[in-house]
């Protein structure tokens, strides 16, 4: 895991996303590519509330405002990246080099933001993104699309960056191929974690929890001293039970695959996984 893609949005979530990416990159001496997609007003209008209802002068004013916003975000994104790299002593490099430290790169492209983001995601080992707090001219399902179409793991930043990012990693296990792929993809981080807990909720059929000992042993073969935590529902939902386990264990990073019994799209961001993203105030590592 040597290359990390990080969108630079020029918004208020940049700092926490950058800090999360740096916390991930430092133990790996990885290269961070900061990417800003400079939107055009017509593209942003598609995903900006109420613009589609404007007519005449109101529409012209709305488009002028979107143009100004897009240009401001582009300038702010570059300023945010350069300031962050200076403050974090990240050397900017455009090509691979033999340096035992985190390096960075800033790139900007124009238009068709989601397609460009997916394209670049496919060429990196990991993508670090944040949850937008307000409309930024991008589709509301950008996280889902990048995860579903890139084939790469996605690390979703929380509201704040834990002081010890890899202190306690909780692997959510539910005996699916999605969970298995998430474990494999997260091994570079799990091997550097202070503590790894394989957590599972024992439902009616018991299949979700029966594989936990095997996963714990597999991790031990990788030199990871993992432990297990299997809990019954006891009247709670799977999401609520996982939330309690995470809180009890002092989790600083969660690793998840698809968690549920829905069709492919809903499997990843429907049900339990979507709910987890809503309550989890720690970074969540996902792979579809």
Phi, psi angles (nearest 5°) of residue 37: -100, 115
One-character DSSP codes across 249-274: HT-SEEEE---SSS-HHHHHHSHHHH
pLDDT (0 to 100) of residue 268: 42
Q: Is the same domain home to 217 and 172? A: yes
Which residue range is the domain that position 99 belongs to?
Answer: 3-156
- Measured CA to CA, the distance from residue 192 to residue 195 in angstroms comes to 9
**What predicted TM-score, i.e. pTM, was given to this entire model?**
0.86
Which has more pLDDT, 46 or 223?
A: 223
pLDDT (0 to 100) of residue 161: 80
pLDDT (0 to 100) of residue 269: 43
pLDDT mean across residues, the chain: 82
Least confident of 157-166, 203-212, 227-236: 203-212
pLDDT (0 to 100) of residue 9: 87
For residue 204, pLDDT beyond 90? no
Domain end call among 105, 129, 156? 156
pLDDT (0 to 100) of residue 182: 94
pLDDT (0 to 100) of residue 143: 82
For residue 219, pLDDT beyond 90? yes
User: What is the CATH number for 97?
Assistant: 3.40.50.620
Give strand pairing partners of 7: 35
Q: pLDDT band at 97, cuts 50/70/90?
A: confident
Residue 161 in any domain: the answer is no
């Amino acid at each position: 895991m040597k290359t990390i893609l990080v969108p630079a949005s020029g918004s208020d979530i940049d700092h926490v996303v950058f800090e999360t990416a740096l916390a991930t990159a430092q133990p790996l001496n990885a290269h961070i590519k900061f990417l800003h997609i400079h939107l055009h007003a017509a593209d942003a209008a598609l995903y900006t509330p109420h613009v589609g209802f404007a007519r005449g002068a109101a529409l012209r004013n709305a488009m002028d405002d979107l143009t100004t916003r897009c240009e401001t975000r582009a300038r702010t994104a570059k300023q945010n990246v350069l300031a962050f790299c200076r403050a974090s002593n990240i050397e900017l490099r455009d090509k691979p080099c033999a340096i035992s430290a985190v390096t960075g790169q800033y790139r900007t492209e124009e238009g068709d933001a989601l397609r460009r983001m997916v394209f670049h995601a496919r060429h990196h080992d990991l993508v670090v993104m944040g949850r937008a707090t307000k409309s930024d001219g991008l589709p509301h399902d950008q996280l889902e699309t990048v995860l579903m179409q890139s084939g790469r793991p996605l690390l979703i930043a929380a509201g704040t960056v834990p002081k010890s990012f890899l202190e306690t990693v909780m692997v959510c296990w539910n005996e699916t191929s999605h969970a298995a792929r998430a474990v494999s993809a997260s091994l570079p981080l799990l091997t550097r974690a202070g503590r790894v807990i394989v957590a599972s909720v024992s439902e009616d059929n018991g299949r979700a929890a029966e594989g936990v000992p095997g996963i714990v042993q597999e991790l031990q073969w990788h030199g990871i001293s993992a432990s297990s935590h299997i809990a019954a529902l006891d009247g709670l939902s799977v999401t609520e039970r996982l939330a309690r386990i995470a809180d009890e264990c002092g989790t600083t990073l969660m690793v998840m695959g698809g968690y549920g019994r829905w069709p492919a799209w809903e499997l990843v961001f429907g049900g339990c996984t979507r709910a987890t993203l809503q309550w989890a105030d720690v970074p969540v590592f996902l792979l579809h």
